[in-house]
Structure 1
């Protein structure tokens, strides 16, 4: 497979690319250009050209044009100057030149780069990326989740999605409609969102962010950034940091590497990268995701969720009802709240203090609670549960689970596809089973009908391979009080 560069002459040429990422130029004439397989760059030049990108992500290149062109991917047609009379097939991306161009996408995810000039863009369907360049551009993202990209700007820009206006350098005079996300370059930029969930990426530089309404994601990059999440549940994302960061929401300060000098207001959630990071929440419910590395977490007040990732993490839930989340683990984990320790894979070396609830993934996990009320959710897999003291809730998920509620009034949750679970110490006086996921079970009589005794043990067969066994339990010792049903409103 080779990457070909093929250039036609002033006549009407037929140019066919191969299986590589080809560069095909028709020059003058009414050319027929076929990119074939690969991510090709296609330039018809002057004339009424027929251009087929073929397979791959293909670029229609008018970057050398000095007069306006119109490209309408949704109708497969071009107009004006070098694009006049053109027909396009299987083109995803378009670059135009220094004229006042009109670029309209189609149902795919298009990249539309207008170069210089006062350009008009319409992304139509698809998650599109628009690069306006210099000039007062008008940009319609239309359907999909669309991005304005100023990452190559030559100076600071200001982008205000809420009032559809841009200013300074490449953004000067720009208008935005139906745009969700912004990326800027390595200057001191101002990025302000609107009423939807925006992703605001400021690149390097001392940037200012205001998410406004919506659940926004802010990437500050290098530089002392000021970030206002405003309304909604907002996230600061340091997942691409080049070193350790410290983020302290409670006093609005960041430090180290990409977080150095950052200030945070109205931010709820944090994601960091694969270094040894420090994440401290505040008085609201925070989601603190440390990525890999030996991270330190302090949730402070609020019902917090902590994702430690790989590495020996130290986790303080502090006040509130806090969750340690291993649902994305790549293998089995063991979590023992009673002695504050984790082991195996993502939980290896973890220390857990003031954590009430545990969620694990789809492997064969071991979840052991402590003296308070725990929620232990094992996901799928053949899991082992021990609630210990406290009024615990145990959720086995799919798989053959081994369950000990131990002391306290415990709740065991089963749902369709749970397979074969065994509860070894069901206490008829205070324990319950939540069978509300089974619409066919509405009262105790329905449970009696699917029950059977096997020696001293009681089995409920819900069908489709879902069997719940209560060790040393008789149906005669149970009642409606031991179950939660699906009761129509």
Structure 2
């Protein structure tokens, strides 16, 4: 056949011959008769694999590889769009090759038809059969329709798509930012280094369909980060320029999202698995779920939502929200005030808030929180309540020593506070309540606090368990104002600081420091081994039924101890600190039912409430409210052998009672007393024991019980009544003492009572006379006198010895000699004594004979 550029076929069978070198043959076939068969025969030298079957519009092009020979069959396709089929009129039924090869339309459909674009922007449409599409340069649209198709976008920002019914498609966007739209069946997407940003829109929903992303040989697993951005999965190369976005990979944008049943890819395959990935060349959905996906924020404020599987979330700068949902998750807030949270069902989570004040919300399972210098103020809201769950706080290497950390109870929270004063971790609701009966919460605590840097002194223990924390105790700190601090049922260290504070440590072993101000420090009765230091101000310290230690010193003010210790073997101690240097700086006083430990400076004292069993003079030491020891921490110059006072020491030393400038009633106790009425008309009742009573000015009544022994009475100025015991008593009378009355009860064998006259009084100054049954010893002018009641009516009322300062004594048996001698001079009772020289000479002889 000779060369024909265009050939018009008939409605019947036509034969077309094309040989190598014929140029271009255009066939316009119109066969439509039944049974008609049109045939194209290629001559010698043209082989099937040397031809490319192309579609251009409605036409089929058979193009030889020499670039000059081709056959065009017009209107081979039924339409120009991607839904086109073979035309029933214009196709050739057979294409024959000289070597016996044969192509039918079915063979061509199976081999696929090629569409090629230009360097410009092209719109290429395939057909309902298989396609091979090449966009080449420019921003192209490649629409392959149905069939099994291969699409290559080439350079430019291209759209590559197939119909939903297409199957076994391969889409390769090439360089540029491309959009690849898959089918309901198996699709393969190819991405190479340098391809830019490609978007996959996958529709696969047919059972057993497997969609694959194939990453080229220059991409290894170590180069790739899988990210969740909204509802999409981004496969991001570390070069920052290349990534694949799979649209709607996740079922929603929220943190409860799962893998979509239609839009995921079942596999991501690596042409180069990399040196670190020798055994695995692909990531399945299960692999991706296990590895987890990444969410990354920007330098601004971001809200990042994970999914129901594993997440790795990075907020970066800004005030971010990171919500990882369930799964196993790592959350890094970065700089800014961030919220990091997971669902209660999440497990094995890791939280690192970063710089800024962050809130970290954990799960019901294992959670790990990280904190260090520069982290700011972070808050943990932990809700772990699953059996066996363990929550851990990791203190990073910037925290070098355990003493850099202080554990504080603030309300219901535990604060892990760094010594720099700016960084702390707050664990919300660590305690069951804000009150002092609070325990550790069963849901909101962390089971361990771990030091990742052991520190120089921490080689044996690098973590604190709940038991360690309970033993170490937690701290409560007040402010410069008035605070109410409540501890818990474990050990507490409480510091009120300034202000009028309430410190309630509850049970446990506790240390309470009130600081400045008028404070109330207390523990429960079940607390043990407690330490109280009220500090400056007037403080109240309420102890337990067990061992309590109270500290007092110069500057402490007026503190009150309310001690209730009644457990067997309990020992309560008052420590007098080093500011109290000598024991004589301290005076022990009974005031009502209380014991006051009073410093000589007149401003500082410790009051122990209800030390005595009653306010009366028959009171003993209470079995519940006393302190077993008072200890001097500074031994003092004369205190080298004894640094403490026991109850026995106190009983032997005796306690002091002091009146005021007014009328007082002072009652001692059944032990030794030192009583000072001071001014006013006072009653001093020392009870039993060995006692010293000083009435002071005023008309006073000084008395002891009949069982008291070795008592000392000094009425002082004023008309006083001194009531002695059945044992030895000493009564002191000084010039100016006025009119005193002694009522002596002495009847016990071997007892000796004394009247001692003070300085300036000698035997010549005293006048003895009888007044009814009383013995009166008075001054010569009658201004001072002492009467011994019932001297003449009762032997037990007599005083055995009357003494002068110079040591001279007048015995009871010699008294009557002086009474008789003085009565002979006719001086009326109470009258001023004025004797003649002879009378005085006579009296001096009597005095000399009896005063020895």
TM-score by length of 2: 0.22
Higher relative contact order (CA 8 A, sep 6+): 1
TM-score by length of 1: 0.36
Structure label with greater radius of gyration: 2
